[in-house]
Amino acid sequence: MPFRNRLACLAFIALLFALLPPTAASQDTPWQKDNAAWREAHKVELLKPDGWLSLAGLEWLQPGDNSVGSAPDNKIHLASGPARLAVLRLDGETVTLNPPEGGFPPDLLVAGTPAKPQTLRTEANKDKVSPHLTIGTLNLYVIRREARFALRTKDSHSPALIGFHGLKWYAPKARYRVTAKWIPYSPQKTITLATLVGTSYDQPVPGAAEFTLGGKTFRLEPVLEDPAVAKLFFILRDTTSATTTYGACRFLYTGSPTNGLDKPGELVLDFNRLENPPCAYTPYSTCPLPPPGNRLPIPLPVGEQRYHD
């Protein structure tokens, strides 16, 4: 009798397991796996030695000589590094790198070569062209915002990198991955983007993405950061900015529309990939604000949440 009861018990357990839902891992769809991989890549990018979490300073240059170093009497004071690093001279729209008293530190490199007096290349809102000054854990370069110039400092041992405590995300929701209608502008228009530091700059807008959520139709306009790169950049805000997401905005990068930028087509907007701008992590970034048309009157409870709350 006990043997028969045991068989009945085992049969019941087998039936129970058959009726249970599959594990979370087995339920993952290719889209969910892609989304998880994207989140991990986003974190890895932030944690690079020269990623946004490494930002440790932003100092605006004044006309004339701007001494740089860790000694307290420098105009631009560094938290670490040599007492006298360099002198940046601003004359109009030209920034010149000069040695401090006693000469450049022997291990200071400019674009990978030993430092020497030179004019530093700077272009408005094109930070990638700026040569980097590197020494120890420091990585410095001059950026231009309209007629203003600043020295941006990154440190691979920055407090933000050392104190990284993980990112916060909404649960992924497939209904917030929508296919939008791409409406090209011919000719492309230009908009002026304001930034959190009070500057502004112009960017081309190649068209608009029109989509439907909750039975209502909305439109967002992307800017084209680099015409040579097949990527659209949406700067937007929704009503979650008042509660759970970064207050200024979030970013969304997408590929190109199905028929290119200059023809009507379709464009996938996966709002699960909304990410924080750099200024959500560090006060030393200069972030664009969303244009009026990209401030949605609805919540988008997906993507990245606030970092510091």
Q: What is the pLDDT of residues 42-76, one digit of tens each?
A: 999 999 999 999 999 999 999 999 999 999 999 99
Does a structural domain hold residue 157? yes
Does a structural domain hold residue 127? yes
Which of 281, 300, 306, 259 is closest to 46 using CA atoms? 281
pLDDT value at residue 246: 97
Q: How far is CA 23 from CA 13, 18, 38, 106, 174, in A?
A: 17, 12, 22, 58, 19
pLDDT value at residue 229: 83
Residue 226 scores a pLDDT above 90: no
pLDDT tier at 27, thresholds 50, 70, 90: low
Last residue of a domain, one of 104, 139, 162: 162
Range of the domain at 193: 174-294
* CA 299 – CA 271 distance, rounded (Å): 11
Percentage with pLDDT > 90 across the chain: 85
Residue 5 scores a pLDDT above 80: no
Last residue of a domain, one of 120, 139, 162: 162
Last residue of a domain, one of 133, 162, 191: 162
Cα 49 from chain centroid (whole Å): 15
Residue 17 scores a pLDDT above 80: no
Does a structural domain hold residue 96? yes
pLDDT tier at 224, thresholds 50, 70, 90: very high
Which pair of structure tokens corresponds to residue 252?
A: 């969304």
Percentage with pLDDT > 70 across the chain: 91
